[in-house]
Chains A and B, each alone.
Chain A
Amino acid sequence: MATEVRKVPEYCYQCVAGPDLLTVKVEDGIATEIEPNLRAAEVHPGGGKCCVKAFGLVQKTYNPGRIVQPMKRTNPKKGRDQDPGFVPISWDEALTIVADHVKAIRAKGILDEEGFPRIAASIGRTSSPSAYIGTFPAFLEALGAVDWSFGSGHGVKCYHTEHYLGELWHRAFTVCPDTPTTRYVLSFGANTEASGGVVATWRHAEARVKGLKRVQIEPHLSITGACSAEWIPVRPKTDAAFLFGFLHSLLNDHPRAALDVGFLLAHTSSPYLVAPNGFFLRDSASDKPLVWDSLRNAAVCFDTPGIEPVLEGVFTASGLERGADDDRWRHEQVRVETSFMRLVKQLAAYTPEWAEKVCDIALGTVRRIAAEFLQHAQVGATIDIEGERLPLRPVAIVLGKTVNNGWGSFDCCWARTMAACLVGGLEVPGGTLGTTVVLNPPRSPRKASIKPGPDGFMAYAFNPTDRARWKLKGPARNAHSALVPLSTNSPGATTLGPAHLAWMFLEDRPANAPRVTFPDLWFVYRTNPAISLWDTPEIIKRIAKFPFTVAFAYVPDETNYMADVLLPECTDLESTQLIRIGGTKFIEQFWDHEGFALRQPAVKPRGNTRDITNISTELAARSGVLSQYNDAINRGVATGISLATETYDFRLEPKSHYDVEDIWDRVCRAASAEVTDGNATDGLAWYREHGYRTRPVPRLNWYLFPDLKKNGIRFEMPYQERLLRIGVELGRRLHESGIEWWDEQLHEYQAIPEYRDFPAIWARDVVLHGGTAEQYAFWMLTSRSMQYSWGANAGIPLMDEVARNIKGHRGVVVNTGRARELGIADGDLIEVRSYLRATRGRAILREGIRPDCLLIMGQFDHWVMPYAKDLQAPSLNTITPMSVALTDATGSGADIVRASLKKLASA
């Protein structure tokens, strides 16, 4: 029996959908149980619960495979076939080795001969440095310039395109329904119940029993599909066709009055007049876009008071048209039409019947879904939120991975946003909402990021494409600033950039692309691109060429196998960090409170592991950047809260060396002051006891519409004049630089998207590599489960154990009927091959998958990580190519590959 039992409040932030609050039971100094922090139900919108991953934290702590002593490599050769020969060393030696490298680099200059930072860093989980890893981001900030290009999956395997376009159109880094009030959701492969975290799961469950109807449109019946009213097994990568047919039906099968015409006229660019060259017709004097005023029967500036703009029509008007690179056309009495008119015309060809054929779904589906959507939209309804009357539009559309990234995602994101606008359901109660802002700070509250931009739209910090400012060679190896204007140059831009391009360009540089160098020093924080990117055997070879790699290592893995120094740091239950909670955040975190929660050492660190904050401080001191490091912490880098404002001052002295507890005590005091408006300054001890501290925030913060309306800002829908212009300019810049391998991507810069045969892009890629579409007849897909969505849980036995209760893990899901045709039985060993190579696993026969698709859950194929290496689970990443041809204009690919299927052995 335990003699001393404590329950220690913690949070879990192993995935982007957190943090969630919990307690850990500690018996005689040993962590034994994770429990939800049900006291937090008073503020936490998921009932104070934590998800399945949190329960893996105990095994994570006591994992016998953990690295608990600093190590250095003794084998100078690197590669999968090279034993690194790690030997234990002291912390002093380890930190000295690393700091000496840093100092040497700083002495040489932080940028290399190609202008790239000599130091690169990659981190796992959230790609959000301030959220998880102590003060390490402050150390990196202190170094001056660090390249975040070498991603592990984020940037390309996330909701990449949605991040950019979502922020452009409604400050929506990610998008979700206003679940508590919505009644009808079209979900294109959004696996909310697997990856939406506790709050999304909680909200959707509540909504389902209250009658929410969700239609899941995806090639396989996912976990979320199981929790939906209907499954529509759409052909992969044809979601855009479905959405175009759906829009067509909304525009053509129903009277215009059934749509929210008032919203379209007042809050979108629908009435803006489009001139002959495809750009807005503008007022010559003010440069403002013109609309047709039915009262004056004339074209007037869109913001002229007292007008009645026309939604549809073709008119004759005069004005200025401004194209790319400031090309200007003066028009006198030319034929112009409204943006909405352009929309209607463009979508005329995309009939529901056409869409159903492209998507390979039952006839009548698209029209029925459109009618249901419109019926549920309750156009005209209102709701009072905190005394303010807002439109109520309880319908939403959400997109999942491989729908909102990679080819076709621009079209899908656009159509999703357009559909919401047609019924006035964007950023209003019940409708389609953004969650948070990353590229256009400030992040919280989201409405604070609304800044008036040109033409009545929100401002967006595009990377420049004009001749004077565009540069082929940018600050990062992933070329995001040169190729992806939407990626912005905000602090998070590099991390979110097209990660695979950096990896690709190291070895396969297309014609006239800038030379990409290996960084002199690469920090890897608990991330494993050798498993989680694509074409992983090739990635491993490139990682092996990095000259000096420092890995913050929890267990040996496939990436830190190539490291030169391993720094073992404390895990969740051993370390200290204060984190912001509440407000609004992805995936569906919508709180009525905001504040801070503490992660604290519930147990002593295992072995000779250290808190990442202490490691960071020590590295800063030894690298000669302590004052810069302390300054960064003072500014809120890494902690998200400034240590000094007008009302309080808890700053660190620049030259002092602080312990982890000192630092976080000051952060806690600042947090207390912020939450209480300066009335309290409780420090670490208070948070250790109470776990979290919050204050109420208005629910109106959830919705952007009221503030947009107040500021007279419109949603930039339907017509993408800015993107059109940028695309033309980017094309010119690239061609001027001799780059033609991005031409296909340039087609994506359209004012109103034109459907392209997206599946054919993959078929063409197969042919280009010597195969045929028939040879690789299957679409290999992947899907997430809650056990393995983020979290780096592949080596945690408890996750594996319970994940096996859900079909699909550890094997390859094959349609039952198709498998029978191929003589494959449940449990047979099968091989799935792309034009790159093969992966193998056990066949799992299911009816809930299209006959032309295969599915692998999660990301596996480990060969170093303890426990995970014995799972013998297949991996999509092993066989998926990295390819410019498969990269869309936002620099995003998709987790999908054409594959063949072969039986190797019977069960």
Chain B
Amino acid sequence: MTLIDRTRPWHQTNWDWRAAMNFMCGGAGSGLLVAAPVAPRSWYPAIELAGACAISLGLFFVWLEIGRPFRSLNVFIHAKTSWMTRESWASLVALSASIIAAMLPSMALVVVAALAGGVFLYCQARILTAAKGIPAWRLPIVSAVILMTGFSEGMALLALFGRPMVVGLFLCIVVRGVLWRRYRTLARRGAVPEKAWSILKRYFPLVEVTGTVVPAVLLLLDLALGLPLAATIGAFLAFAGGWLFKFILVTRLGFNQGFAVPKFPSIGGLQPFSSKPGWPNSR
């Protein structure tokens, strides 16, 4: 039995790798649907099917995680405010649209699926920011990060089907890289608990090198020198970097808020003290 200090943030225990898989698979799948319209028409069926499978797989992992899986249909009830409900509905639309588009590969249907995928991805992004109890997730920038990570993954996954869209992917990972950096800056400045920051600080170079620096170089190499293999490797790394970031975000940075005492009680006229253990400048 470890002696846990419950005043300071500790890692949440409700969402584990299975929840992370939803963000990874679902994000990549929906990103793929979003990217589909820019792909050659002949890739549509495969892309749409792959996107649907990835989203389904992600949802399957969530289903594995929930406490009462046989009541899972209740998830559709609260569309008024819950991004999880909205994500569920969006998944139905995205899955339906993508499967139909796979069977009837028209630009219009692919665009519909892309829009649905985009909505799904947006819902995923908002799921995290609505998790007010987890400082590393609730930062508004996380929505943009999740969106751009999904887009990047989608663009990168096009490499599965042929030569990737190098310029588009390059732009995506650059924007994503800028957002990641911004996220890191916010975390460093105290937006997340100390432990979350120390973990992010440790993993960030790996994420950045894997997901931004090396792929960017490889994509540039392809652009400059026409090295398709470099682009393909770059795409896979860009994809891997995105997954790595999301896996870390969900399973490593999910420290909760902890507790705080902004003002200590006055007992016999004491000097003012405040306490926010586990946060920067707390002592």
Contacts and interface: CB of A to CB of B under 8 A. Distances in A.
A296 to B, nearest CB: 48
Interface stretch (A208-216, A272-280, A582-590): A208-216
Interface in A785-828: 804-805, 807, 809-811, 826-827
A652 to B, nearest CB: 51
Contacts of B262: none
Nearest to B7: A807
A213 B269 CA distance: 8
A211 B6 CA distance: 30
Interface in B251-268: 267-268
Interface in B1-45: 1-6
A805 B6 CA distance: 8
B225 interface: no
Contacts of A811: 3
A213 B2 CA distance: 37
Nearest to B267: A229
Closest 10 A/B residue pairs (Cβ)? A229-B268, A213-B268, A229-B267, A208-B267, A811-B3, A842-B3, A810-B3, A229-B270, A844-B3, A827-B2
A201 to B, nearest CB: 14
A227 interface: yes
A828 to B, nearest CB: 11
A844 B268 CA distance: 29
Contacts of A810: 1, 3
A229 B3 contact: no
Nearest to A212: B268
Contacts of B267: 208, 213-214, 227-229
B269 A804 contact: no
Interface of B: 1-6, 267-270
A230 interface: yes
Interface of A: 208, 211-214, 227-230, 804-805, 807, 809-811, 826-827, 842, 844, 871-872, 907
Nearest to A227: B267
Nearest to A226: B267
Contacts of A809: 3
A208 B270 CA distance: 13
A214 B269 CA distance: 11
Nearest to B2: A827
A799 to B, nearest CB: 14
A211 B3 contact: no
Contacts of A228: 267-268
A736 to B, nearest CB: 54
Contacts of B4: 804
Contacts of B5: 807, 826
Contact of B268 (A230, A842, A872): A230
16 contacts: A208-B268, A213-B267, A213-B269, A214-B267, A227-B267, A229-B268, A229-B270, A804-B3, A807-B5, A810-B3, A827-B2, A827-B3, A842-B2, A842-B3, A844-B3, A907-B2
A871 B2 CA distance: 11
A214 B268 CA distance: 7
Contacts of B6: 805
A211 B267 CA distance: 7
Contacts of A907: 2
Contacts of A807: 5
Contacts of B3: 804, 809-811, 827, 842, 844
Contacts of A212: 268
Nearest to A208: B267
Contacts of A842: 2-3
Contacts of A844: 3
Contacts of B2: 827, 842, 907
A192 to B, nearest CB: 14
Nearest to B6: A805
Contacts of A871: 1
Nearest to A843: B3
A230 B5 CA distance: 24
Contacts of A826: 5
A214 B4 CA distance: 30
Contact of A211 (B1, B268, B270): B268
B52 to A, nearest CB: 46
